[in-house]
Structure 1
Amino acid sequence: MKWTSVDLQKYDQAKEYIDTIIVPLAPFQIGALEASAKNADQYDVLTLFARELEKELMGRIMLTPIYTYITSAEKLQEAERINEWTNHFKEQPFKQVLYISFDPSWRKIANDLEGEFIWLPTASLKDADPAAVKGIIRDQTLQTVELIKSFW
């Protein structure tokens, strides 16, 4: 289920079955064109990936809007903010709080997060044809679904 009014109504009626919430994490910056463009591409891919993940696990997970942060932000401060989100989610109650990102810098502080962090290796998709992009996203989704199921 996604963060939409329709899905939130469905969630309210079936919340005892939806025990996992997934929060995509995406860096943002305006500045050097190459780095900004890379972040924008990753944001697009993360959006596609998160939607596929939600479709695959519908009825068991809630997908939040993407948590966006400035690339140069201090990760420990961001972790504190994210942990506030985690505490809020666990009060709802969600048993599992999972964070997903292409940004490997989160791996260094993953132990400071109160939810589980899943790092996703990126594939450059900007020059790929749409069919190839769909296949790559699908493959990565299926692999990540198996990982998520291991938390249950």
Structure 2
Amino acid sequence: MKWIPQEVETYLSAKEYVDTAVIPVYSLSFGEEMKQSAAAFEFISLLTGYLEKQFTGRILLFPPYTYLKSEHIENVVSGLSKWEETVVQNEFKHIFYITSELDLRMFENKVDGSLIWLPSLPLGNMNEPQKIEVVESQAKQLLSIFTQKWSNHE
């Protein structure tokens, strides 16, 4: 389910079945890194959107956690922890952070949720069918991570 009124309404009436929060994490850069930042955003957006479609009824795709690349990474992790605390209080059993931000990999043990880092794949020069193929390929790898986490906590 997506973070839109109709689907949130469905979530509220079926909360007991939706136990997983998916939170895309992006950094925002300007100047020379702006294009790379936009490419990572596109890749992670398409990927998390695909996951949401595959697991509709099991996951809620949250709005992205976005921060400035110039921000201290410790502050970013602290912000993620605050989100996590609220998400857990609202009865989500599983939290997956999906990101292409390499800096966050060093802090994956600082959050209780599962931080999944993927290298950003440049989709800019691909046509739509090629983009879908690349995203599906990456998503298949994530599907096994999700199902493994779910089976370990059931």
Pick the TM interval, shorter chain.
Answer: over 0.9
- Unmatched 5+ stretches in structure 1: none
Q: Is 1:68 equivalent to 2:66 in the alignment?
A: yes
Deviation for aligned residue 1:44? 1.4
Q: Is 1:43 equivalent to 2:41 in the alignment?
A: yes
Give the TM-score normalised by the residue count of structure 2: 0.93
Identify the residue that residue 88 of structure 2 maps to in structure 1. 90
What secondary structure, in the 3-state scheme, does the structure 2 residue paired with 1:16 have?
A: helix
Deviation for aligned residue 1:129? 2.2
Give the TM-score normalised by the residue count of structure 1: 0.94
Runs ≥4 residues deviating over 6 A:
none
What secondary structure, in the 3-state scheme, does the structure 2 residue paired with 1:68 have?
A: strand
- Unmatched 5+ stretches in structure 2: none
Matched-pair contact (CA < 8 Å) for 2:43–2:121: no
Identify the residue that residue 128 of structure 2 maps to in structure 1. 130
Identify the residue that residue 13 of structure 2 maps to in structure 1. 13
Deviation for aligned residue 1:145? 1.3
Aligned residues: 150
> Aligned AA for 2:24?
P
Deviation for aligned residue 1:126? 1.4
Give the share of equivalent positions with the same residue, in percent: 28
Identify the residue that residue 51 of structure 2 maps to in structure 1. 53
